[in-house]
Structure 1
């Protein structure tokens, strides 16, 4: 069980759990179009065991029981994502009514169970037809995404407690277009520079489109880390500056300061879209809340042999999860205080944190420590209003396939039987009958 209690985080603190469409839904026979993750996972070598999300957790058919688990766990809210290719199979144009009907059922099911729907428009499943046109490298995606956002707003907006535009733009842009780890798997600096800007331009356009439909309580979800230099040397300090700028400041500065870090605009000058500066008013549209996903810290060591970004990342000395990610709860406190002091006084929600692990006693401690880290940040003035556990279910964990288990509920992928883990019971013990 947890040592922290709900009251330690404030009387109105929101607790939820989170998932993403491609990782759990399956249900690809209802008119849904293909996404970049369908083709990326079909390409040998991209995903462990050549796993894909065609069935995943079969949430498309099993959603009532999954929502029952969230309700019975005592959670207040469910953070889910909508599938762009399920709603608009080609990314633009004709709407798939069966997809609309599915999300109608899902959202109404949340409301019937007293759960607040926290929607995310984009959690990485870009329609393949749009990738054929350049995807996030094409400036036109800002308009395509705005049209999709307007559809979501018109169909579901009046029932959503909160709506986020993009989940983890660093992953959408840098991880997927520079490091090549996620779909579409590019390793190209020009592709990354264009995607880094266009993802935030699309976000701003979507905010305008949602507000045009009367949708309230809008935000974005940034994945942030506690960046640190590997040593006190001047060279490692420079390496840290680059790492922090790429992972944190590009997105925070863009959204909240209407500018990008000069360190990066200089390094990327020949690769960035022409006249990107003219878009910054759109990039920095006012928001109602900020979502932060936090998992670990980044340690940066100088590496002058690397072009453009002269650093390499090194492993820290703290305990690791089974993906090798360092467990560093104090970094969450530091990060929350930094964001609240340097960037925004908006309400902040921890929209994801969690641990890939088969030993659930370690996962219970992970959550207990990170909830304590949130309380410590609140004590230093950070306005943190909620916490979403990643993830409700063991699921398709992108390039890790089904080998990585973040769920607070175990999924047997052969039978699709759900079995609550000790972590689920710890949350249930803390939250039950206190809503």
Structure 2
């Protein structure tokens, strides 16, 4: 919110490149978080032992000129403003959607553009780039090695649902890779169950596993040979909660079907 409001200028108060104002807004958000943390942990709202409190940090994977500089000076710096010494968070929340490319040395915060990749573009943002989630998770774990990580948001707006099943499964593949490398990922949440009113974009972006047009026929089987995102997600959750040979085999079948469907629709 602070970046879109004070740097990119797409949210109120529609300021561009106002870093000093952005950091003042961050300071106020940190103060609000601390008040909420103390209230929750003090037993005012819930018994002390019943609640875990964290902050969800929205990281975009930056690529191209100055990409690494922006990663450290924006993503990591804002994250550290909340995390600090770790006394006010019980876990690290992490949100990831896409990769963007810094357009030029002279306009590092100009209109970001997709670089172009095998997976295609993330409508309205940048590239669909599942590997960026893996790289960001590794980076985040290096910053806070003693903190558990929850992927509190990831998702793809794709109205036809031809490519999204593969995008979801590829993302999960990189999550499993990070877990194999000892990144303590404790859970992941997909955005979203149904299409939503998406910030300044309204209803243009279709993030839902179920769309408003599909709700009345949501239980109708897919066309033979096709797969839908709402069929993929239960398989992933089954692997997370019960990684048995049967659930892993089901995941492999879904993956192959989704990959074939994706490649036909490139």
In the superposition, the TM-score normalised over structure 1's length comes to 0.47
Deviation (angstroms), 1:343: 2.3
Given the alignment of the two structures, is residue 323 of structure 1 paired with residue 124 of structure 2, yes or no? yes
**Where do residues 1-40 of structure 1 align in structure 2 (5 Å cutoff)?**
none
Displacement, 1:316?
1.2
Tell me, yes or no, if structure 1 residue 217 matches structure 2 residue 52: yes
Specify which of 231, 251, 256 is matched with residue 425 of structure 1: 231
Structure 2: stretches of 5+ with no match in the other structure: 223-227, 243-266
Which residue of the other structure, out of 27, 30, 33, is the alignment partner of 1:197? 27
Counterpart-to-counterpart distance in 1, 2:17 and 2:126: 25
SS at match of 2:10: coil
- The structure-2 alpha-carbon separation of the partners of 1:206 and 1:344, relative to structure 1 and needing over 3 Å to count, comes to farther
| Mapped partners of 1:368, 1:291: distance in 2 | 21
Alignment of 1:30-429 (within 5 A): 172-187=1-16, 189=18, 190-212=20-42, 213=44, 214-215=47-48, 216-228=51-63, 230=64, 236=65, 239-257=66-84, 285-304=87-106, 306=107, 313-318=112-117, 319-412=120-213, 417=216, 419=218, 422-429=228-235
The superposition leaves residues 240-299 of structure 1 with CA deviations (integer Å, 9 ceiling, x where unpaired) of 3442134311222223346xxxxxxxxxxxxxxxxxxxxxxxxx5332111111011232
The 8 Å contact of residues 299 and 314 in structure 1, kept in 2 or not, is answered as: yes
Distance change in 2, residues 1:223/1:418 (3 Å): farther
Offset at 1:342? Answer: 2.4
Q: Secondary structure at the match of 2:211?
A: strand
In structure 1, distance between residues paired with 2:111 and 2:210: 35
| C-alpha separation in 1, matches of 2:153 and 2:109 | 30
Q: In the aligned structure 2, how far is the partner of 1:290 from the partner of 1:203?
A: 14
Hey, what's the Cα distance between the residues in 2 that align with 1:250 and 1:324? 22
TM-score with structure 2 setting the length: 0.74
- CA distance in structure 1 between the aligned counterparts of 2:238 and 2:180, rounded to whole angstroms: 25
SS of equivalent residue, structure 1 residue 210: helix
In structure 1, runs of 5+ residues without a counterpart are 1-171, 231-235, 259-283
Aligned to 2:186, the other structure's residue is in SS state: strand
CA–CA distance in 1 between the matches of 2:236 and 2:75? 32
Q: What secondary structure, in the 3-state scheme, does the structure 1 residue paired with 2:218 have?
A: strand
